[in-house]
Structure 1
Amino acid sequence: MPTTITDSISGYANVNGLKLYYEIHGTGSPLVLIHGGGSTIQTTFGRILPILAKTNKVIAVEMQAHGHTADIGRPLSFEQDADDIAALLKQLNIPKASILGFSNGASTTLQFAIRHPEMTDKIVVASTFYKRSGAPAWFWDMMSKPSFEGMPQIYKDEFLKINPDTNALHRMYERDVARMQSFPDITDEQIKSIKAPAFIIIGDKDVVTPEHAAEMHRLLTTSRLAILPAAHGEYIGEIMFPPDSVMYSATASMISKFINEEQ
């Protein structure tokens, strides 16, 4: 059962054999937040979550093997993550929600919109590509020779604050790397099938090229596109970066406006 935390709640939902951790903050139309690879709710969204919760009922999750959600014996996939989110929303009696995903979480967001269109209100996809050619060559070169030592220490520290099991941390890292190394393209036809209004956000120094973001924008006929002067996640105040409240507050305001405006 959920546990009350000041004006918010947190809990675990049994979905598809997984004990999925979630938090609910604020009131209004529902907005699901899906973090990036190797991350938690706080590392990805800790700085903008309070802003988004002023205008929406924010449901923040930690996916399989991440943060409070333990790993189980099944492969990681964006499709499975999307189905887990759908099952959570059904348990929470939320028939339709907007979804905001960052990086890997944005890949899950695309799959959610493709696989569960009837449950999708709007989507915000931040710093993602839908096919391998959308990432610059240096990214795939880095993914071809990963090392646990190269994982940013702040992610390791934040994981271990929640779960002190170093084996679980290593396993999460290995699982995320393997998922990206075998990244499956989404077809143009599948992207075109998404009818939900979409907001595409990237930085101009991101792991996705501006050209690819523009291509996605053209395929998603009801989409908006923002290319911001920032690195991967910097524009949402992701924990890797020093706080720049002007930038992440502006991004959060754009997201809130998009989610809540009439289409």
Structure 2
Amino acid sequence: MKNLFKSINPLKAIVAIAMVVLTATTLQAQQLKPAASGYAPVNGLKVYYEVYGDGKPLVLLHGAFMTIEGNWGRLIPELSKTRKVIAIEMQGHGHTPYADRKLDIATLASDVDAVMNYLKVDSADVAGYSMGGSVAYQLTLQHPKRVKKLVIISSTYKSTGWVPAIAGAFKNMKPEMFANSPMKTAYDAVAPDKTKWTKFIDQMLVFMATPFDMGDSNITKITSPVLIIAGDNDGLDKVELAKTYQLLGGGVSADMAPMPKSQLAVLPAQSHVGLMMQTPTILTYLNGFLK
């Protein structure tokens, strides 16, 4: 048995698990048509968005290689019952065309800000998963008045927030690992130019391997209440996660001091990709926090 586990390529295992979850999420998603959808002309791109429901706006930002449906398909039907849900597909993802423009977190955050301008949304609650969580952190730092409440799901504001094995995996991923995958199938289903797949993957692998750090001192300046949701084995360094929560005002003894406005939830027995399958639990945390 030990020899069997040694023979498994951990990089391929990460991608394989993500593919399984992506497929399951897409297939099990409730069918719900957006009330509005289209392209926002922002920063030289046409960024795709979908709008569901009515109420206070909630912006959703997906993870790397994912689409709105693949990331949020199980949650949007419930969230949109009480909220105006605005889901965005970032540069090169889903319906949003590939662009040669350099891919970085600050630029993606600027795109989200511009989409909100286009949709005439002055401020909103924002939730981001994985890559989308990093973009959500950056959006809050660049445009603090935009974000009322911030939800970060299995994500970090610095590359050292991941355990070393994940950082190493990001650097060693190869384009061929994504060939004939559900990610490729999802891309082909909605991408405006399917011939850009290889360029998109190459661009994303460079993006993921590039170190980033938004700065501890900047995180302490965030005034929006923040809900952090993580899996206990999702690849995040839990020591760094605890430090992040402290930077946001958490980690106190609430019997002797006021309860912090930010919250931390660590779900047991959950991986990075499996965490998004815990729909009822995530909804409970989201609804409680956003109310």
TM-score computed with the length of structure 2 as normaliser: 0.81
Task: State the match for 1:244 in structure 2.
Answer: none
Task: State the match for 1:219 in structure 2.
Answer: 247
Task: Calculate the aligned-residue CA RMSD, in Å.
Answer: 1.6
Whole-Å separation in 1 of the counterparts to 2:118 and 2:202: 30
**Based on CA coordinates, which of the two structures has the bigger radius of gyration?**
2
Whole-Å separation in 1 of the counterparts to 2:197 and 2:283: 30
For the pair 1:251 / 2:290, whether they are aligned, the reply is no
For the pair 1:191 / 2:227, whether they are aligned, the reply is no
For the pair 1:9 / 2:36, whether they are aligned, the reply is yes
Matched to 1:167, the amino acid is T
1:1-263 to 2 correspondences below 5 Å:
6=33, 8-151=35-178, 153-163=181-191, 165-221=193-249, 222-229=261-268, 230-237=270-277, 247-260=278-291
Q: Which runs of 5+ in 1 are unaligned?
A: 238-246
Whole-Å separation in 2 of the counterparts to 1:51 and 1:252: 8
Q: CA deviation at 1:163?
A: 2.2
Matched to 2:288, the amino acid is K
Secondary structure at 1:205 match in 2 = coil
Q: CA deviation at 1:236?
A: 2.3
More displaced stretch, 170-179 vs 52-61: 170-179
Whole-Å separation in 1 of the counterparts to 2:222 and 2:56: 20
Matched to 2:219, the amino acid is I
Sort the Cα spacing of 1:259 and 1:30 in 2 relative to 1 into closer, same or farther, 3 A.
Answer: same
- Write out per-residue CA displacement over residues 84-129 of structure 1, whole angstroms, 9 at most, x where no aligned residue: 1111111111110111000000000000000001111111011112
Secondary structure at 1:75 match in 2 = coil
Asked whether the 8 Å contact 2:59–2:87 carries over to 1, the reply is yes
Q: Which runs of 5+ in 2 are unaligned?
A: 1-31, 250-260
- Write out per-residue CA displacement over residues 174-200 of structure 1, whole angstroms, 9 at most, x where no aligned residue: 111111211211110111111100000
Q: CA deviation at 1:140?
A: 1.8
Q: CA deviation at 1:6?
A: 4.9
Asked whether the 8 Å contact 2:62–2:131 carries over to 1, the reply is yes
Sort the Cα spacing of 1:164 and 1:80 in 2 relative to 1 into closer, same or farther, 3 A.
Answer: closer
Sort the Cα spacing of 1:165 and 1:91 in 2 relative to 1 into closer, same or farther, 3 A.
Answer: closer
Higher share of residues assigned strand: 1
Asked whether the 8 Å contact 1:128–1:207 carries over to 2, the reply is no
Matched to 2:264, the amino acid is L
Asked whether the 8 Å contact 1:100–1:123 carries over to 2, the reply is yes
